[in-house]
Structure 1
Amino acid sequence: MADSKTKHGWRADKLDHLGSSIFAEVAAWKEEALQAGKDVIDLGIGSPDRGPTQEVREVLSKAVLAEDSYAYPSSSGSPAFRKQAAAWMAHRFGVTVDPETELLALMGSQDGLAHLAQAICNPGDMAIVPDPGYPIYVGALAIAGVKPYLLPLRQENGFLPDLDEIADEVWAEAVFILLNFPGNPIAVQAEYAFFEKLIALAKKWNVLVVHDLAYSEMGFDNYRPLSILQLPGALDTAVEFHSFSKSFNMAGCRIGFLAGNREAVGALRKLKGNIDYGVFEPIQTAAIAALKQAMERPAGDRGVAPLYERRRDAFVEVLAAQGWDVPKPKATMFLWAPLPERFRMGPERWSSRRFARELLLSTGVAVIPGDAFGAQGEGFVRIALVQEEATLLEAARRIGTFLDVLFLSEITD
C-alpha cells in the first residue's frame, strides 16, 4: 500500500486529461510579459468585459437583501426559474418544454457539460466530440471514464463535421454526440438541414444529441442561431445547454440550464441532486429578470449581439490593413484566425503555440493557440473580442507591427 501511495501520490491520473496545459502556459507567458514591462491586452479568455443590465443588477441586489434568500435552494432550480426559462424557449425558438421534467437549472452550462457523461454513461462507453472543441468536452469524458471519438472540424468542410465520415461501428457504440453551433472556438453555423440529418442519424442509432448553445444570442449579419429542439421529434433524442454568461453578461453568476429529452435531463437531475444544492436563489431571481427583459425587448433589439458585431468589424478591418486577413465569424465573441500565410507556408513553419507566445512577449497581446482545443486546431489562434473597441484597435496595431518586424527580419536574413 505504501509503495502504491508513493507511486501515485495524492492525485488521480485522470486529471492529466482535463483541459489543456496550454492555458496554464499562456498564463505563465502573460506573467513573463508583465515582468518584462509589457502592457498586456488579454484577448485570450472569453469572459465578457461588461456586466448585466442595471435592472438585472437591481433585482439581484434586492433579492440578496431578503431574509429568506439564504436557505438551501432546490438542486433542480426554483419552479419560477424553470417556468421562466421554458417561457423564454417558447418565445425565442418556438420550442415547448415541460419545466418540471424537461428543464434543469445549472451552475452555468459548464457545470452540466462536466457532469452529463457521468449521469448518462458507464465507464468504458464512447461519446463523439468535436476536434477542435471546448476543452471540457473531452475533460468531462476523462472524469467519467468514457472514450472520446474525435470528430474533425476541417476548414475544407467549412468547419462543419462530416456526419457521413462517422463509421457505423462508431454510431453503434456511441452513447451521445456533442456539438456546438455556433461554436467555441469556431463560430460555425449549422442550418436546419444539417440538424435534420443529425437527428435522423441519432434516432437510427439510438444516440443522444447534446447541443451546446451557449452563444444563442450572439448572431451577426441577420443570423439568429437555431435551437436543435426546434426540429420535429428532437425531444425524443436531444438535449441542449443554455448559458447566461454570454447572452446576458452574467458569467460570474454561474447560472444556465439544460432543456430537452426528459430521460437525459432526469439523469443529470438525479446526479446533481446528490452532489450540490443548486444555484443561489437571488441569482435565479436575477436570471428570471434577464429572461423577462429579453422577452420584452422591442423587435429589432438584439441584446448583446450588436456590441460584438461592431467590435468584430472594427478589429478585422484594422487587422486586414495590417496585413492579416481573418474571416469574419457570423456569431460568438471569438475569431478563429488562421496564422498569416508566411507563418504557415514558409520554409520554417510556425506552430500556433510559437506564434501566440512570440506575439505576447513582443507586443503584450494575448491570444490562445488553436491546439489548446484539439489537434485539428493547429495552424490557428483564437482571439476573444472582450475589450472595448479602442483597446482592440490598439491590439490590432501592435499585431501589425509584430508582423512587419518579422517580415523585415526575414528579408534581412
Structure 2
Amino acid sequence: MPSFLQVAVLLAVVITAAKGAGALSKRLGQPAVFGELLAGILLGPTLLDVLHWPVFTDPPYLERLTRDLAELGVIFLMFLAGLETDLEEMRKVGAAAFFGAVGGVALPFLAGTALGLAFGFPLYESIFIGTILTATSVSITAQTLLELGRLRSREGTTILGSAVIDDVMGIVILSVVVALHQAGLAGAGDAAGGAAAVAAGSSGSTAAAQGADAGGAGALAVGLIVLRMVAFFAAAIAAGRWLLPPILRRAARWPGTEPQFAMALVAGLLLAVAAEELGGVAAITGSYMAGVMLTLVPDVKRAVEERLAVLAYGFFVPIFFVNIGLETDLLDAVAASGPAFLVLILLAAALGKIVGSGSGVRPFGFTWMEALRVGIGMVSRGEVALIVAGIGLQEGVISQAVFSVMVVMTLFTTLITPILLRWSFGRAPGSPSGAAAFSPAPGPRSGEAD
C-alpha cells in the first residue's frame, strides 16, 4: 500500500477512535477529552499498538508524521485558548482570582518538585514535575458549572478568572524552566570542554580561567534569554494591538475564499515560530498570545474562532490527544516509577489545587465551602498539563516514565473534577438549567468540542 494511503488509514482510525470515545465519554457524563485520551492509550503500546499493525510498513515515518500533526494541533489548541480568554472577566474578579491562581500554582509546584527530589529524580526533572502540576484546564469545570446552572455564580466567575491567570503563569513558568534547562545544557557542555582541556594537559590556572569563563558565559546566556523573552512579549503585544487588526480587516475584503481566516492562521503560526526561534520561549506561547490579542478585536475574533474550532477540533486536536496515548505505555510507567510515586503524584495534583486555590481566595470573603468549590474547580489538568508534559519530553527534561505518569494524572484529575464539583454544589432545586439560564454559552475550550 502506498505511504499516503497508509497515512489515510491511520488518520481515519485515529479520528474515528477519538470522536467515538469522546462521544461515549460525554454520554457517560464525562468530558470528551477523557474519552479521546483513553482512546489514544488503547491504540498505543499499552494495548493495541496501532502503529505496528501489519498494514503499516513504515512505523517510524508514521510516528514522525503523527507527532508533527499533533504539534500543529497543540499550536491551534493554544490559539483557541487565547481566543477564549476573557480579559474583562479577569478584571472583574480581581484580587480573589489572582491569589486563587497564585495559590493554585505555588502549592502544586512545590509539592511536585519535592516529590521528584524525594524519589531521586534530578533537579531539573523534579522542577518540571512541579511545573506540570501547576497547569489547570477550565474547560471541564466550565461545562460542569454550566450544567449545574452555576457558571455565573461567585465561585464560577472566580474559577474562570483564576484559570486564565493560572494559564498565563503556567506558560511563563514553562518558558523559564525550559530556557534555564537549555542554558544548563550549554553550561554543562562548556564544563565538559574545560575538563577535556585539563585531561589534555592544560595548567590548573588555565582550567580555572576556563571554568570561570564558562560560568560567566552561562550567566550571560540566562540574562540574554530573559531579555529575549521580554522583547518578544513586548513586540508580540505591540503587533497584536496595532498591526494585526488592520491587516485582518483588510484581508476580509480580499477576493477568494476565507482570506481573513487564512491570514489569522498565518499570524498564529508565525507568532508560534517567532516565540521559539526568536523569543526563546515555547511555541505555544506565541500562538496563545495571538489568540489573546485577537480578543481585543471582537468582530475578527468571532469570525476566526468559529472557523478555527472546526479545523482544530475536527482534525488536529483529536490527533494530538490520541498521539499522547500512542507515546505512552502505562504498564511501563507504573513499573518504572513505582506505584508509590504515582499515588503521591495523584494526591499532590488534587490536594495541591484544592488547598492552594481555596486558601488563596479565602481572605476575600469566601466561606469555607465557597473556597472549597473554587479549589475543586481548579483541579482538572486536561490538555494544558499534556502540552507542558509533551514539551518536557521533547526537550529531554523528563523521562518517558514520568511523562506516562503525568498522562495518568491528567486522566485522574479529568475524571474526579466533575464528580467533586457536583458534590460540592449539591443539587440546586428550582434553579434553571445551565443551558437556559446563561446565554451565550461558552464555546468549546481546549479540547471540549462535542
Question: TM-score category by the smaller chain?
Answer: under 0.3
Q: TM-score, normalised by structure 2?
A: 0.23
The higher-RCO structure (CA 8 Å, 6+ apart) is 2
Q: TM-score, normalised by structure 1?
A: 0.25
User: More strand per residue: 1 or 2?
Assistant: 1
